[in-house]
Chains A and B, each alone.
Chain A
Amino acid sequence: MRIDNELAIFLSSPVMTILGTCDAQGSPEIGRGVGARVDSETGVLEVVLSSWQWPGTVANVRNNGRAAVTFARPHDYVTYQVKGRAQIVEPDAQALLLSSRYINDITVVLCQLGLERRQIDHWLTHREPVVVRLPIESVFIQTPGSKAGRLIASAPIQ
């Protein structure tokens, strides 16, 4: 599915990235992404994740692929959520570079908001990295307010 250019830029910018998955027993899991890129033509999203820090998330994606990823801009809470069926792939050199740059950029953003480096360091690692590749099927606004949860784009039913 094609992704709006503006949204594609937002998803790749220094925003807080959270992945939601679910195991076979119906227990959800949470993980933090450390860098994302999206091909706006194909709508394929790739998020770098530490399999060392978030093993449950990686296991769930491997098992059933169902994933939701939320992108929230820290200074104004503008938030989008995308959903689809994901798979785990090995990161290429570009993904690792992207992740390093993301960790650096989001650290600056959060420090400007008054958080301290020693706090932020707990959230951002790409130790034992993997890439969650997710062809986007639907996009939702998640910014707090009356529009939260509204579907703004979805892939055609096949």
Chain B
Amino acid sequence: MIRLTDLQACFEGVIPSIVATAGADGTPNISYLSQVVRVDDEHIALSNQFFSKTATNIRENPHAAVLIVDAQTGEQYRLAVTFVETRTTGPTFENVKAHIEATAAQEGMAGIFRLFGVDIYHVREIVHISSAALATTGVAERRALRLTDAARVVELIAARTDIDAILEAALDGLQQYFGYENMLLLAQDPIRQVLTTIASRGYEKTGIGSEVPFGDGVASRAASEGRIIRVSDLSRIKRFAAAISGSASDENRTRAIAVPGMPDSMSQIAVPLLAQGRVQGVLFAESRARLAFTSEDEAALNIVARQIAASWMLAERMAGESHEVPAVQLRTEPSDRTFRVTYHAVDDSVFIDDEYVIKGVPGRLLIFFLEACRGGRRDFTNRELRMSATLRLPDIKDNLETRLLLLRRRLEEKRSPVRLVRSGRGRVTLELQGAPVLHRVTS
């Protein structure tokens, strides 16, 4: 037996649904529907906008037929329904109204689609329409396959202990088992109100260190609302505009790294990384294909995202446990080379040989390391970094490891003469190719 819950892909609003009604004299009428919403297992809601003939007919004859289409496969289902009531207030009405207004505004048709009410129908029968097309994988089968994929990715993530390896395992696993090609992992920075790219796959530039401001785009919405945001057809919806098109020279001027993005992206999904009720960050994926992410993907990603968040949080906490202060080892520079480091106090941005590297807390960390290394220090513990007054670390102290990872990756990507190496749990070692010459710009 087919249930309404199995037909989630028919309620995406991508492929128009159709309603047929008949008047008291038996004259039929057909209308296209802008939205069909599943209310519960036995009821659907139809938006009542233009189809006045439909409204007249159902008051004379409450029976109707609704044709819905699986947005993923194209399969058709005929629902035999009976009108129950019209709602002009309440959560179902507000939900449909918000969706219609948002879609209309994005299509430049704000104000045209006025919602008078939502009509609630009882679903008496669901029939799968015979098709001459090749049989596609059924809902139950797709769900089972995705669950197995999720289990494999969770296994990969759970086997890792440091953040670097956890994030890499997540992206590798999603690439291998889910077939996703373009992904970002973003860390939430509640102090600066941004999401920062910390790992990525599939883009020309990794975008490590690039920032998406709160309130901008699907990733930010997923973080602020703590729920998955999925867009199935961006040809109808305005694409999020966080991407700052940028070259290295722009980066040096704006001190902002370009967020990687696909200009012709059609489907996007953003999944909040939730652990103990706190959003650690966001997993974002996109595709050039329409409907690339299904409701089965959504459920499976929810599981994967929670494992990423839990492992990530645990790794942060464990990294703070190393209390042993390493012995100071004085070292000489391997070459006579020097490199110029410019620090701008206004935004804690750091340039090495006039190339922008990073700003904010990771910028302060880099300067802290470079100043300490002038006295011969190379090895540091997270504990002493946390205790350092000069670093002015934000009060949220359990994401130091994440900031160190961001700094480490950014230095690697810039092929910088200074590198950070993880030398044990909660410990880092500085590697230098040459001697830094520090300049502070205070104004």
Contacts and interface: CB of A to CB of B under 8 A. Distances in A.
B423 interface: no
| Most A C-beta atoms less than 10 A away, residue of B29, B34, B64, B131 | B29
Q: Is the interface of B mostly helix, strand, loop or mixed?
A: loop
Nearest to A143: B50
Contacts of B113: 144
A87 interface: no
B30 A148 contact: no
A109 B78 CA distance: 24
Contacts of B18: 18, 30, 70
Interface in B244-265: none
Nearest to B14: A115
Interface residues of A, number: 42
| Most A C-beta atoms less than 10 A away, residue of B15, B18, B27, B112 | B27
B29 A66 contact: no
Contact of B133 (A28, A66, A118, A142): A118
A125 B132 contact: yes
B132 A121 contact: yes
B195 to A, nearest CB: 29
A144 B21 contact: no
B20 A122 contact: no
B155 interface: no
A20 B74 contact: no
A92 to B, nearest CB: 22
B330 interface: no
Nearest to B124: A27
A26 B22 CA distance: 7
Given A118-B136, A119-B74, A148-B50, A26 B61 contact: yes
B131 A64 contact: no
A121 B53 CA distance: 31
Interface residues of B, number: 44
B53 A149 contact: yes
A30 B30 contact: yes
Contacts of B112: 145
Contact of B50 (A20, A25, A144): A144
B51 A148 contact: yes
| Most A C-beta atoms less than 10 A away, residue of B18, B32, B73, B233 | B32
A19 B30 CA distance: 7
B73 A118 contact: yes
B135 to A, nearest CB: 10
B63 A27 contact: yes
A123 B67 CA distance: 11
Contact of A81 (B29, B74, B80, B134): B29
Interface of B: 15, 18, 20-22, 26-32, 34, 49-53, 61, 63-67, 69, 73-76, 78, 80, 112-113, 129-134, 136, 233, 235, 266, 290
> What are the 7 A-B residue pairs with the smallest beta carbon separation, nearest first?
A119-B74, A121-B133, A20-B28, A22-B22, A125-B132, A28-B20, A148-B50
